[in-house]
Amino acid sequence: MSHSPSDNPLLRIDLNQPFSDQKPGTSGLRKSSRQFQTPHYLESFIEAVLRVLPGVAGGTLVLGGDGRFGNKEAIGTIARMAAAHGVARLVTTQAGILSTPAASHLIRQRGAVGGIILSASHNPGGPEGDFGVKVNGANGGPAPESLTEAIYAATQVLDGYCISPAVAPGLDVIGTYDLGPMKLEVLDGVEDYVALMQQLFDFDRIAALLRSDFRVAFDAMHAVTGPYAIRVFEELLGAPAGTVRNGVPLQDFGGGHPDPNLTYAHELADLLLKGNAYDFGAACDGDGDRNMILGRSCFVNPSDSLAVLAANATLAPGYAGGLAGVARSMPTSAAADVVAKELGMACFETPTGWKFFGNLLDAGRITLCGEESFGTGSNHIREKDGLWAVLFWLQILAVRGCSVAEVMAGHWNRFGRHYYSRHDYEAIASQAAEGLYRRVRNQLPSLQGQLLAGRSIVTADDFSYVDPVDGSVSGGQGLRLLLEDGSRVVLRLSGTGTQGATLRVYLESYVAPGGDLNQDPQLALADLTSAIEGLAEIQVRTGMAKPTVIT
Ligand code: VG1
Ligand code: CO
């Protein structure tokens, strides 16, 4: 390894053959914890990252994770590898706890060459759960496809890796340590992030709301946002102790599934949707980049959440000057498009995955962006940001002085309503899922002009994206059936699952102001649901009578 300084003793470990399965998916490399415990497995992927990421030798790198099983040990290993690769300064956090948005902020603030985030996001953790490695670039955002492809190519030809024999320090005490010639800085992973939130939102105003009889329940799902949420809601904003539930990060997330949706965060959902003790509820996922927003008897679907933030953005000090534009991922409903049109700003449609927003944010073409999968964010960092979205909602409610349900009703009355649902069929046999998907894709040319649920299909294609900033093309991003009345059905195979395949079916139909805005979404979409069931033969081919998760 010629790029390691000669005064830096290192071990060179030879591999008999490279691992063949280290292809990053929608959001990094995600595998079972067991797989990651295979000797040299983590090290191989990290070696590829350290070889490919520009500026590693002599640069600063940020490292942390969501606290899941394997987090601390992996930090020790990666620190020793970073030292062997000539990293000048490695910035990590107490106990290795660092949310994905906080990592993005640290990378930017420190001028780091990138970051490594140890998380499988919303996938369960623990010895029987999943582990993951996300790689971010110097802008603080997920590695673009060009970088992940280069990392993957490097894993395919790897014959060994380098690691420092020095012992990595513990992560309990804040301070700066020497690890070989590298400086290893252990800091409080919460502080800088919270300071950024205080710049964007009016904490006094939100505190006044939380000290009134407005009751908030926040569910950290035993994942990374606990320490952040306790600092923000209970310590700084004065919400009563106990506002943050499941606030201690656990290695296995308490056996739960840290995915903030109506199925996996059902305890919180029941509190808000069935009880009346709370006015506002929110939850974040394993690594803190997603959010679910609930009001009393009111679930805010994430596509609508993005639209509401866009329509009300100027109520937050950080966005008082207005927005440059908005972007949403392709399967996300067009609710934000309608707001953008009405407010006269640009709106972009990108493939699924936050990495596709990076260029638009860096170029200043958009300020807000979001995905239907409970991800919302802005140009303050280059990741989606769960707590940021929660604070944004509280800011809007504090200024407008109304309930979540009133915000939604007002929004639909003005912009119309996009009835929307995602049906996930999880852990299907891979062959069955791929067969189903291939069959529909092959049918696409003949579907154009045909009827689906009584409406003509005006476009049937496999979504392909041309990045407006750098012109790069990303094809094969999801099968779209666009109908004459603006309704649509989209099919995708997940890139984040670790067991078999997950089929996602996205359903959407628009009702303009003046129409029936108060239907149950599943009923409003029932004709599309049964039409796509017939067309894609979902039940027969997956052997599943109904979806695993309906959002
Ligand atoms: C899912 C979501 C996608 C999100 C991705 C990463 O991907 O659908 O919108 O960007 O997870 O989220 P897929 O390929 O399973 O549909 V997370 O919170 O890793 O960071
Ligand atoms: Co996540």
Task: Give me the DSSP letters along 357-425.
Answer: GHHHHHTTS-SEEEETTTEEEETTSSS--HHHHHHHHHHHHHHHT--HHHHHHHHHHHH-EEEEEEEEE
290 lines ligand 1 (CB under 6 A): yes
Query: Is it the case that residue 6 has pLDDT exceeding 70?
Result: no
Distance CA 510, CA 490 (A): 15
Answer yes or no: are the C-beta atoms of 3 and 101 closer than 8 Å. no
Mutation choice for ligand 1 from 122, 287, 352, 463, CB with most ligand atoms inside 8 A:
352
Annotated catalytic residue 119:
no
350 lines ligand 1 (CB under 6 A): no
259 lines ligand 1 (CB under 6 A): no
- Residue bearing the CA closest to ligand 1, atom 3: 353
CA–centroid distance, 430 to ligand 1, in Å, is: 18
% of the chain surpassing 90 pLDDT: 88
Provide mean pLDDT across the span 100-118. Answer: 97
- Residue bearing the CA closest to ligand 1, atom 20: 121
Crossing angle between the packed helical segments 430-447 and 526-536, to the nearest 10 degrees? 100
- Residue bearing the CA closest to ligand 1, atom 13: 494
Distance CA 351, CA 480 (A): 12
Query: Is it the case that residue 4 has pLDDT exceeding 70?
Result: no
CA–centroid distance, 76 to ligand 1, in Å, is: 27
Amino acid code (one letter) for 387: L
Q: What is the pLDDT of residues 34-72, one digit of tens each?
A: 999 999 999 999 999 999 999 999 999 999 999 999 999
355 lines ligand 1 (CB under 6 A): no
- Residue 495: its pLDDT value, please? 80
- Residue 8: its pLDDT value, please? 56
CA 290 to ligand 1: nearest atom: 18
CA–centroid distance, 302 to ligand 1, in Å, is: 13
| Catalytic one of 33, 99, 121, 509 | 121
- Residue bearing the CA closest to ligand 1, atom 6: 27
Q: Which H helix or E strand runs over 101?
A: helix 100-110
Q: Which ligand is nearest to the CA of 66?
A: 2
- Residue bearing the CA closest to ligand 1, atom 16: 494
CA–centroid distance, 455 to ligand 1, in Å, is: 30
- Residue 9: its pLDDT value, please? 64
CA–centroid distance, 43 to ligand 2, in Å, is: 23
CA–centroid distance, 322 to ligand 1, in Å, is: 28
CA 25 to ligand 1: nearest atom: 14
pLDDT band at residue 25 using 50, 70 and 90 as cut-offs: confident
Dihedral (CA of 469, 473, 478, 482) sign: positive
The structural domains of the chain, ordered by start, are: 11-188 (3.40.120.10), 193-415 (3.40.120.10), 417-550 (3.30.310.50)
Query: Is it the case that residue 167 has pLDDT exceeding 90?
Result: no
285 lines ligand 1 (CB under 6 A): yes
Q: Which H helix or E strand runs over 438?
A: helix 430-447
Q: How many other CB atoms sit within 10 Å of the CB of residue 57?
A: 13
pLDDT band at residue 20 using 50, 70 and 90 as cut-offs: confident
Q: What is the pLDDT of residues 190-236, one digit of tens each?
A: 999 999 999 999 999 999 999 998 999 999 999 999 999 999 999 99
- Residue 497: its pLDDT value, please? 75
496 lines ligand 1 (CB under 6 A): yes
Provide mean pLDDT across the span 12-25. Answer: 87
- Residue bearing the CA closest to ligand 1, atom 17: 121
Rg, the chain, Cα only: 23
CA–centroid distance, 290 to ligand 2, in Å, is: 6
Q: Which ligand is nearest to the CA of 383?
A: 1
- Residue 7: its pLDDT value, please? 52
% of the chain surpassing 70 pLDDT: 98
CA 289 to ligand 1: nearest atom: 18
504 lines ligand 1 (CB under 6 A): yes
- Residue bearing the CA closest to ligand 1, atom 11: 496
Distance CA 354, CA 331 (A): 13
Report the DSSP beta bridge partners of residue 505.
423, 491
